[in-house]
Amino acid sequence: MDAIRVACFDDHPLMLDGLVHTLAAQRDFVVVGEGTCSADAVHCAHAEKPDVILLDVQMPGGGLNVVHCILNACPKVKIVMFTVSKNPGHVGTALRSGVHGYVLKGISGPELTEIVRAIYKGVNYLSPGIAAHLVSNLQRETPDDDMTTGGLDDLTVREEQVLEFIAQGLKNKEIGQELNLSEKTVKHHVTSIL
């Protein structure tokens, strides 16, 4: 299997070094670019065509501001927002823009590498804390709210069960154990939900 070509962009030098070091230490990853602003990310997308790009939401130029530009230059790239921002507006903008993952900083290196591998393989990922917050907000809405729950009505019974466990903060493996499903099947349901 070819190595997963990744690029990392964060305006905090220590965080950027940690990202690069963590991913480069894996045999199946090669870091093809890094930088501290959105302009660096756009340049790398054009020049290197990475498989996965990790962007900070709040770096200079704004990570969210360049998603569309990057996807135009590199339509097959998987974009992961790697951030401390739990702002629902940021999450919504990211998901509508076509990102494949929204990951909160504070996770371990092994967790990050597993998430990036899954996203590379086509699985969308949303940090459990963010998913729980979104579900909580949707449950509080009334039909008269500007934002409707329209998509929730289209979920299957199994998808609703998986979503409830996500809202409780369970990981895919734990959800699989609760529902007597394989982790791969749970990932499929999460992708359908997203």
My answer on whether 73 and 33 are in the same domain is yes
What CATH number should be reported for the domain holding residue 88? 3.40.50.2300
* Average model confidence (pLDDT) across the chain: 87
Beta-carbon contacts of 87 under 8 Å, excluding residues fewer than 6 positions away, are: none
The per-residue pLDDT for 152 is 64
My answer on whether 16 and 78 are in the same domain is yes
Is the pLDDT reported for residue 26 higher than 80? yes
Q: What is the mean pLDDT of residues 96-120?
A: 94
Per-residue pLDDT band for 178 (boundaries 50, 70, 90) equals: confident
Residue that wins the pLDDT comparison between 147 and 75: 75
Q: Where are the alpha helices (DSSP H) in 4-55?
A: 13-24, 38-48
Is the pLDDT reported for residue 186 higher than 50? yes
Find the domain containing 136 and state its range.
131-193
Q: Are 79 and 100 in contact (CB under 8 A)?
A: yes
Is the pLDDT reported for residue 169 higher than 80? no
Is the pLDDT reported for residue 181 higher than 90? no
My answer on whether 155 and 182 are in the same domain is yes
The per-residue pLDDT for 148 is 47
What CATH number should be reported for the domain holding residue 154? 1.10.10.10
In degrees rounded to 5, what are phi and psi of residue 31? -85, 115
Residue that wins the pLDDT comparison between 71 and 181: 71
Domain boundary (68, 101, 126) is at 126
Is the pLDDT reported for residue 153 higher than 80? no
Domain tally for the chain? 2
Locate 189 and state its tokens.
């349901």
My answer on whether 14 and 56 are in the same domain is yes
